[in-house]
Amino acid sequence: MNQRGCKKAVVETSSFQAPLFYMQHGFEEFGKVEFGIPGHARIFLRKDLL
């Protein structure tokens, strides 16, 4: 937990941007919404701060 009492961090990125960067830093994917363009999606990631 950080100084403000936060327990989780949540980020959103696109499949063509930085999901691997976040996963390499301890984030896990918990959701995906496909775009109209095949192979592209919004990726939702979270990380426990405990």
Tokens of 32: 């995906």
pLDDT at 5: 87
- Note the CATH architecture for domain 8-48: 3-Layer(aba) Sandwich (3.40)
E strands present in the chain: 8-14, 28-34, 41-48
Give the three-class secondary structure for 7. coil
pLDDT-derived band of residue 1, with 50, 70 and 90 as boundaries? low
Q: List, for residues 7-46, the tens digit of each pLDDT value.
A: 999 999 998 888 999 999 999 999 999 988 888 999 999 9
With CA atoms as reference, report the closest residue to 14 among 47, 38, 36, 44.
44
CA distances 3 to 20, 34, 38, 46, Å, are 27, 35, 41, 18
* Whole-angstrom distance, CA of residue 2 vs CA of residue 17: 27
For residue 50, the model assigns a pLDDT of: 79
pLDDT at 8: 94
